[in-house]
Structure 1
């Protein structure tokens, strides 16, 4: 167990505001102890409950207080009561879930509030019509087939082994209530910086009845306490705010600007404020440009080599859920101190506090879509050390059932919509190593239609399709392969390393796994330096633009992290790693 898990107070679990990019003052946190029951999937519902579960930790986790599996033939039920503030009686009340794995149905006081399918993205229901004065009953039903079906699930498996992990069932991110105006409210902000034009575009998406279409929105930009720009318009307008000599965001100087948005009607003394929200943004640009024989990846029109870790975000006590916000931030702070400027968030979507922290400290993020549609038994781990190329239309792609492909696209859309405003995100990665790889061209086009401001690594590793912005290979051999430069795409090593070092007393299983394993820290460091020398060679000679080392922490049976799974032992000190990494950002210096 981690130190944060050991110190956990069930009465104060995940207390920070869960939506950093659109904050309101009023909300109610529903994390804490709920009742739970596990029943056969076909049962109508529990007559009584089995005990208490600590939300937002999944039932399989130690921190949930339960620690049991739920099979695909079973259904997990949650119940709690809540006394909604009487001050909210004239408002619409939204019930938010950060993430629930996988199919979730919600009742409020016996009335069906809604149904959501997808285990990785936030959703909400307007529950106003079901609320009463006094105690209100919330009932949540969850079914999760995990690896018996083909939904996006990352590395969860009903039979964990090697690189496949414990299943996660049910609520695993914050549950909360929010009051908003019944007819006139801000629903979403879409913030797009334009570095070249020194401006920011803000679209305020809201709920306004036709009779109130002339109601106005006011958008203000603040640098600290100083207002530096302001404009007005209407709901759904694209509002452009020019900025004078704005400071740009980068890993070395992560400058953020505050944003305040107000929906109002009338003017002067008759002006009425209908809704308001706070947000923030950064002036930063992700792009590419030709460079000799290859293609460069640029940040703010300047080349920047991106070096990060494969970051899976698993925890021994909370599984997919970090034990606290401080725990979540610790991982990113460690990587920053160790001299990484990027993290590849691997087939997991984090609580939004993760991305807000990356914004604040200057950590670029490559965001994977959680993969699915493949049985763990179908993966040949030796194959992970190779590079393949199959043209688009080849026979290797999964033939997807239409409902599964639609479900994948729906979660992909939800992921991009929920994370669009976070400046740290530089690259979208829809497909990893052929795991459930399907319709690559369609996925690439879909992402670009949703977000044209970031790069797309259409297939990270294995079967490349000559599509997307990055030629992204994975290679775990000792002599890390560096591909030749390409005229059409930037070359990156999306995974390499995977050096195993078991720290006894800090292992999940007695039987562990790594690509290559070593017996002491000095041997580990020597092998790490050897692989870094190949990356440095790629920067100088092959126009290599980025690399991702596997991995941040040990995870269950994997012992190839820079830190143990419980975060109690750092295998290579931050200062030592930082010194080794400095040369990657100054490739004109001598070789390692």
Structure 2
């Protein structure tokens, strides 16, 4: 057959395949979602803090099926799903609920590039919610529990000649289970949102040598002008050497080596410090060698910055960045999308919310009961934004919230629930440790599933002494951790003060404005207070900010405004859920936000 005919037929197959996909449902969508190209979904390298030259993206159309948990692998699949969008989302092309009694199945074929011959092949998942089982060519290669952290399998022994088959099953009980899952519930309403089941971050392949770098753990020490870099290496043995080359704007300024079991210690002369005003990053090349021969090589980056606390001239405990007082001020950012749910339609969309936060004069984001893809944290590092990172809550807290635990007594988790929480919190901290922008860990939010607070907080502080720990944002308060966090709606207030710790207003605001044609539902929308025009919302925001300034002088050292965007039926965002309407006068908001931050000197 003529090769031109073959190419034509293959092209027609591709066209017909992608023609099977279109966004599902009639809910509002972002501009990025409306323009999404199903043939090129989230094509950017998914882990820029540790990048190799070769990789293969497996995003795109997969077969899917929803089957009872009692059944075996499906003999027939229901149709196509666009990975990595959760099956309940519009951009998946499916928009179906799975439920705790069923499994969500995925299947697709792929080929391994011929140039990777002789190397091991890793299969990476950015995140899958919640319990995942994976088969390669009908051989089960592994399982993973956890909805918010990346995981990988070395699939080299299971590859065959030619085309490969990958099969994935996912079980997600949502709010019927004991696992962390943020604000997902089976019956969304109010502050509780649509479930997110299955693959929701990029799936990709990467070739590596048998001995290879798995993770980098960077710990800056600006007081001594040094950075420690610890490389975790698979298959390492005594005598392997890790070498780090540090670059400043492309120029190598330092080279250091260490045996693989040791940290690489790097001393810098007059290091450039990272801050929201000047987010300078050093580029690094990290190589692994044996007997002088380089085995593996990755590109990365780090920044020099210090997170601490100290008293101001009035004796108030203040946050400090690089040994200088700083007021943390930013929005509650939930990271939800009307078309992708947990998944931003494009990388440009992912950047947009961070950029608007900067445009509005904030210097911080509280990432609320969700963990983002690696690229989000790199964008924060590059753009200069402080991040408070929440642990996603779970263990049926909406049920708990509606009952009786307002007497300050913590409810008991099951042993299984506690085990899941501890493992995933550690996994999240390991995953995010080297991102400069993260300055505060938040293990609990508003008593949702809060348990053994003192024990969990002390462990968190020991595990990462380089950051501050906010024990329970607006939750049951214990004399532990670095921060006392108060929630008060709608306007700011100071109900408590802790002279020994930093006192913050962890949530306030929630000023609502419903924009017709930009609503998740035409009715049932709410905010803590509601107004009818952008001017009214801006006036109220400025009034609250001026009140906040007085509380800053009295002792607050951080504040979180609710919230960046509308989310489903909540209309208290600074912009609409589809990101098409900014609700406030940006110039006025930027001016007052900067004035609030500058209250602390």
Matched, 1:446 2:459: yes
Matched, 1:24 2:49: no
Whole-Å separation in 1 of the counterparts to 2:73 and 2:97? 19
- The match for 1:203 is 230
Matched, 1:409 2:436: no
The question of whether the paired residues in 1 share the 8 Å contact of 2:147 and 2:180 is answered with: yes
The question of whether the paired residues in 1 share the 8 Å contact of 2:490 and 2:510 is answered with: no
How far off is 1:484 after superposition? 5.1
Choose from 367, 382, 392 the match for 2:389.
367
- The match for 2:241 is 216
- The match for 1:272 is 293
How far off is 1:209 after superposition? 4.7
The question of whether the paired residues in 2 share the 8 Å contact of 1:293 and 1:485 is answered with: no
Matched, 1:507 2:519: yes
Whole-Å separation in 2 of the counterparts to 1:460 and 1:498? 16
- The match for 1:75 is 103
- The match for 2:557 is 545
Choose from 285, 293, 306 the match for 1:260.
285
Farther-moved stretch of structure 1 (448-457 vs 245-254):
448-457
Choose from 22, 40, 60 the match for 1:12.
40
- The DSSP-based 3-state class of the residue aligned with 1:355 is helix
User: What TM-score does the superposition give when structure 1 sets the normalisation length?
Assistant: 0.94
Farther-moved stretch of structure 1 (166-175 vs 438-447):
438-447
Q: How does 1:184-583 map to 2 (within 5 A)?
A: 184-210=211-237, 213-266=238-291, 271-291=292-312, 292-379=314-401, 390=408, 396-478=409-491, 480-483=492-495, 485-509=497-521, 510-540=523-553, 542-583=554-595
The question of whether the paired residues in 2 share the 8 Å contact of 1:483 and 1:491 is answered with: no
Matched, 1:131 2:153: no
Runs of 4+ in 1 over 3 A off after TM superposition: none
- The DSSP-based 3-state class of the residue aligned with 1:196 is helix
Deviations 1:137-188 (A, max 9, x none): 0000000000111210000000000100000000000001111111x21111
Deviations 1:247-291 (A, max 9, x none): 10000000100111111122xxxx321001111011000001133
Cα RMSD for the two superposed structures = 1.6
Choose from 77, 87, 92 the match for 1:59.
87
The question of whether the paired residues in 2 share the 8 Å contact of 1:152 and 1:408 is answered with: yes
- The DSSP-based 3-state class of the residue aligned with 1:201 is strand
Whole-Å separation in 1 of the counterparts to 2:289 and 2:600? 56
- Which structure 1 segments of 5+ residues have no match? 391-395
Deviations 1:334-382 (A, max 9, x none): 110110100000000001111100111101100001000134244359x
Whole-Å separation in 2 of the counterparts to 1:223 and 1:497? 42
Farther-moved stretch of structure 1 (444-453 vs 311-320):
444-453
Whole-Å separation in 2 of the counterparts to 1:16 and 1:477? 40
- The match for 2:597 is 585
How far off is 1:54 after superposition? 0.3
Whole-Å separation in 1 of the counterparts to 2:173 and 2:465? 34
How far off is 1:132 after superposition? 1.1
Deviations 1:503-551 (A, max 9, x none): 11110012112111111122211211121122100111x2210000000
Whole-Å separation in 2 of the counterparts to 1:275 and 1:93? 14
- The match for 1:115 is 143
Deviations 1:378-409 (A, max 9, x none): 4359x99xxx894xxxxx21201111111111
- The match for 1:179 is 207
The question of whether the paired residues in 2 share the 8 Å contact of 1:288 and 1:297 is answered with: yes
- The DSSP-based 3-state class of the residue aligned with 1:77 is strand
The question of whether the paired residues in 1 share the 8 Å contact of 2:362 and 2:594 is answered with: no
User: What TM-score does the superposition give when structure 2 sets the normalisation length?
Assistant: 0.93
Aligned residues: 571
The question of whether the paired residues in 2 share the 8 Å contact of 1:295 and 1:485 is answered with: no
Whole-Å separation in 2 of the counterparts to 1:125 and 1:439? 33
How far off is 1:215 after superposition? 2.1
- Which structure 2 segments of 5+ residues have no match? 1-28
- The DSSP-based 3-state class of the residue aligned with 2:223 is coil
Matched, 1:94 2:107: no
- The DSSP-based 3-state class of the residue aligned with 1:464 is coil
- The match for 2:10 is none
Whole-Å separation in 2 of the counterparts to 1:258 and 1:236? 23
How far off is 1:101 after superposition? 0.5
Whole-Å separation in 2 of the counterparts to 1:80 and 1:314? 27
